[in-house]
């Protein structure tokens, strides 16, 4: 299952140029640039309304950009529909958890796993050998993913009945189940206490190391990104105001004014 490492680390896995989104007058994101190194953990921070979620919606194809381009593994995916972006290998979670609430935890993962298999109505109705093999395959792949997230015991629970932290992890499990190369995490620690957050950081590192994933993380929790990320970008009012390793960004005067300013006033 593990993707082999991209051979040439100088090639960007994701190459974003001039990405811009305007909503009739409001510029949600302006001239965003990114060259994402494979196997890195990349942080995007910024105050509320800075354009972080817009960025994720653009990268995952949920929203079409006004201008700019997104190249993934050398392929231009700017105009791809969201489900094609997901199939190409970019998975995401949402700031407000979006699970399939009526379905069981395992079914939430299975429905993501099955996307790499062909499904036809005719094969389903006659319960053909290939159909049954596929279903068995899906179950076989889904179980370990739940186990990895520590949700093995919750497999048959209805997703909406799970505790909050488990729901967050189930959403990550579902994203991982699509077998992505890039995982976009939108405020994954929102609503979590420090212990849960620490566990989450550990989980994200393990996903990177064990599955060979590249992670982009949106957060407004500064300590979280500082400790975890290889590189950090700071957005403010839709514009990129800083970009570099955590130590550089932490000391950037623009960042301190725009984002940390309030902290130093206090």
Partner 1 sequence: MSALRIPRRTLVLLLAASGTLALLQLSGLAFWQGLAINFAIFIILVQALNMASGFTGVFSLGHIGFMAIGAYTSAILTLPLATKSEYLPNLPGWLAGIHLDVAVGPLPVGFFAATLVAGLVAMVVAGLVGAVLMRLSGHFVAVATLGFLVIVRVVLFNADDITRGSRTFSNVTPYTNLWWAWGWAVIAIYVAWRVKFSGLGRAMFAQKADRWAARSIGISILRPRLIAFVAGAFLSAIAGSLYAHFITSFSPTVFYFDLTFRVITMLVVGGMGSVSGAVIGTALVLALAEALRRIEGATLLYGLGGILLAVFFIAVIIFRPSGIMGQREVDLDRVLGWRPRWRRGRPDAEPSRRG
Please report, as ranges, the residues that interact with partner 1 according to CB under 8 A: 60-62, 81-84, 86-87, 91-92, 94, 98-104, 107-108, 110-112, 114-115, 117, 119, 121, 124-129, 131, 134-135, 138, 156, 158, 174-175, 177-178
Instruction: Identify the sign of the CA torsion 14, 19, 21, 27.
Output: positive
Least separation in angstroms between residue 84's CB and partner 1 is 8
Least separation in angstroms between residue 265's CB and partner 1 is 38
Nearer to partner 1, 84 or 202 (CB): 84
Least separation in angstroms between residue 248's CB and partner 1 is 32
Least separation in angstroms between residue 65's CB and partner 1 is 17
Q: Which candidate, 92, 91, 90, places its Cα nearest to that of 14?
A: 90
Least separation in angstroms between residue 91's CB and partner 1 is 7
Nearer to partner 1, 18 or 101 (CB): 101
Q: Which candidate, 175, 187, 204, 215, places its Cα nearest to that of 91?
A: 175
Nearer to partner 1, 28 or 232 (CB): 28
As given in the structure block, the two tokens for residue 114 are 């099955």
- Gyration radius (Cα) of the chain, Å: 19
Nearer to partner 1, 82 or 190 (CB): 82
Nearer to partner 1, 115 or 246 (CB): 115
Nearer to partner 1, 134 or 233 (CB): 134
Least separation in angstroms between residue 241's CB and partner 1 is 28
Least separation in angstroms between residue 260's CB and partner 1 is 32
Nearer to partner 1, 67 or 119 (CB): 119
Contact 35, 204 (CB under 8 A): no
């Amino acid at each position: 299952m593990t993707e082999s490492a991209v051979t040439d680390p100088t090639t960007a896995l994701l190459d974003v140029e001039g990405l811009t989104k305007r909503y009739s007058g409001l510029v949600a994101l302006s001239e965003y640039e990114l060259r994402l190194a494979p196997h890195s953990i990349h942080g995007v921070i910024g105050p509320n309304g800075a354009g972080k979620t817009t960025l994720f919606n653009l990268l995952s194809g949920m929203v079409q950009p006004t201008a700019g381009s997104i190249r993934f593994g050398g392929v231009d995916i700017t105009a791809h529909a969201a489900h094609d972006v997901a199939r190409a290998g970019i998975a995401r979670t949402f700031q407000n958890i979006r699970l399939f609430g009526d379905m069981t935890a395992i079914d939430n993962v299975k429905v993501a796993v099955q996307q790499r298999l062909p499904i036809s109505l005719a094969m389903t109705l006659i319960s053909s050998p290939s159909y049954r093999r596929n279903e068995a395959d899906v179950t076989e792949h889904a179980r370990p993913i739940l186990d990895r997230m520590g949700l093995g015991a919750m497999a048959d629970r209805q997703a909406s009945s799970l505790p909050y932290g488990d729901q967050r992890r189930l959403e990550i499990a579902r994203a991982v189940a699509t077998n992505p190369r890039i995982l976009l995490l939108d405020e994954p620690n929102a609503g979590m206490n420090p212990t849960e957050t620490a566990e989450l950081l550990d989980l994200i590192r393990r996903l990177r190391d064990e599955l060979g994933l590249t992670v982009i993380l949106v957060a407004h929790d500064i300590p979280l990104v500082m400790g975890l990320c290889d590189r950090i970008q700071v957005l403010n009012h839709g514009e990129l105001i800083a970009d570099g390793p955590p130590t550089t960004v932490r000391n950037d005067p623009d960042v301190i004014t725009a984002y940390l300013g309030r902290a130093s006033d206090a």
